Amino acid sequence: MLSPEQAQAHCQALVERARAAGADAADTLFAADSSQSVQVRLGALEDVERSESEHVSLRVFVGQGTASIGSSDLSDAALAELAARAVAMARAAPEDKYAGLAPEDLLLRGLPPQLDQADPREFAPGELRARAEQAEDAARAVAGVTNSEGGSASIGAAVVALATSAGFAGAYASTSHSLSASVIAGEGAGMQRDYAWRVARHAADLPGPDEIGALAGERAVARLDPQPLSSGPRPVVFSPRVGGSLVGHLLGAISGAAIARKASFLLGRAGEAVFARGITIRDDPHRLRGLRSRPFDGEGLPTAPRALVEDGRLTGWLMDSASARQLGLAPTGHAVRGQGGSPGVGASNVWIEPGAASVADLIGDIADGVYVTELIGQGVNGVTGDYSRGASGLRIVNGQFAGPVAGITIAGNLLEMFAHLSAANDLEIYRGIDVPTLRVDGMTVAGE
């Protein structure tokens, strides 16, 4: 795999080739990754995988026409052909008045922030196997666990580089370490499955295999013997494990592309109170060792922390350059890139600030409610905000957890859900989107 410096040089050279071939402007993204993982099941080695990939994508502009093309062949001959083909495609493409590179005066200048994303520590396959076995053994040791779907451990490394004809060039490296276990509790038709999984940039930031395994086992056992639940309105409490999905719906709704298409339930609500007072949601691309940290965005613009929601009020949209032009606004440094095509929009490390109440206090006045630990299906309408998803978890009776429930549906509208959302004080930050325990009053729960 190329070093960040080598990858950056390749990107700059490809941009120069595109300009020489007739492009008015161009940008190039290089992405490479390598990974190895070990899977065990019932104490026996089940799978060992190793993968490596390198890909370069080129986007060119000829007038208002644009084209994107990519290749995993980094030879000089292949890159020369890539540039020529991209320019020919752009000349034949329809005009797009919003297409173009990011404004030159907004590009990141100087050294990018150092975010400590690469861990020099490596694990040999034998060490990975030992960690996977330890996680599975801990899960199987939990009373009530009857079978296993396995334990796994993996490591990975990646390099990203970007160069544009407007004068930006940058690159960075990152690593990942992960552990997981998945087990089955109970017997026959009453069997229940659950898992635990963690990933971190640095191995030192992962919980131990014993902790991961024990959590997987405890979760599976906690699902045994779910009881029926009648239908009706109830408070719904989202565990941190699933509550981040609500923030995910918010991020989709404040994407500049969705706003430009008028396909968002938050259209026209910038600056308005969308959440209850006291709710603040932050986005920080500069968090050290963050899973979604990045020193620059997918167009070479600087990234910066910001509040997406401040004391309940929506602060604005997330925009790349194209959606910003459509809306007559400035890009916000939230462009993200895949292996081909134009940039999209995406947030970085996002979290809801914790509230003042403990989890016990948050649920203490709930006479009959549901604590959700798993969500099923994709029943969310991003245009209207209508929300309906399958769920399972625990019943809440008189402020106490009162046994598992499954096969229920929770429904509402995201605008109403956001307005009635409150947060506990148990925030832990280790995912890409992190939330404390969240309570939403006034939802409809459908059971039997």
Per-residue pLDDT tens digits for 341-369: 889 999 999 999 999 999 999 999 999 99
Residue 238, by phi and psi: left (phi above 0), alpha (psi -120 to 50) or beta?
beta
8 Å CB contact between 133 and 40: yes
Q: Order across the sheet with 313-314: list the strands.
A: 313-314, 306-310, 281-283, 350-352, 433-434
| Distance between CA atoms of residues 258 and 371, nearest Å | 31
Q: What is the pLDDT of residue 342?
A: 87
324 and 209 within one domain:
no
| Distance between CA atoms of residues 82 and 21, nearest Å | 10
Question: What is the end-to-end Cα distance of the chain in Å, rounded?
Answer: 55
Residue (of 329, 339, 352, 335) closest to 433 by Cα position: 352
413 and 311 within one domain:
yes
387 and 329 within one domain:
yes
| Distance between CA atoms of residues 227 and 192, nearest Å | 13
Residue (of 371, 261, 281, 370) closest to 323 by Cα position: 261
99 and 67 within one domain:
yes
Q: Order across the sheet with 25-41: list the strands.
A: 65-71, 44-62, 25-41, 145-164, 169-185, 192-200
Domain end point (choices 186, 221, 256): 221
Q: How many domains does the structure of the chain reveal?
A: 2
Domain end point (choices 206, 221, 236): 221
Tokens of 335: 């462009």
| Distance between CA atoms of residues 408 and 130, nearest Å | 39
CATH code of 206's domain: 3.30.2290.10
Tokens of 216: 């997987």
Residue with tokens 């709710």: 279
241 and 207 within one domain:
no
> What average pLDDT does this structure show over 376-394?
95
Per-residue pLDDT band at 339 (split at 50, 70, 90): confident
pLDDT digits over 213-247, tens only?
999 999 999 999 998 899 999 999 999 999 999 99
40 and 132 within one domain:
yes
> What average pLDDT does this structure show over 176-192?
95
pLDDT digits over 238-289, tens only?
999 999 999 999 999 999 999 999 999 999 999 999 999 999 999 999 999 9
Residue 340 pLDDT > 80, yes or no? no
> What average pLDDT does this structure show over 404-411?
95
> What average pLDDT does this structure show over 355-384?
96
| Distance between CA atoms of residues 21 and 168, nearest Å | 20
182 and 328 within one domain:
no
pLDDT digits over 81-99, tens only?
999 999 999 999 999 999 9
**CA dihedral angle for residue 55, residue 56, residue 57, residue 59, rounded to 10 degrees:** 180
pLDDT digits over 41-67, tens only?
999 999 999 999 999 999 999 999 999
- Domain span including residue 433: 226-448
pLDDT digits over 123-173, tens only?
999 999 999 999 999 999 999 999 999 999 999 999 999 999 999 999 999
| Distance between CA atoms of residues 246 and 268, nearest Å | 20
Domain end point (choices 197, 221, 245): 221
Residue 39 pLDDT > 90, yes or no? yes
Per-residue pLDDT band at 105 (split at 50, 70, 90): very high
197 and 283 within one domain:
no
Residue 1 pLDDT > 90, yes or no? no
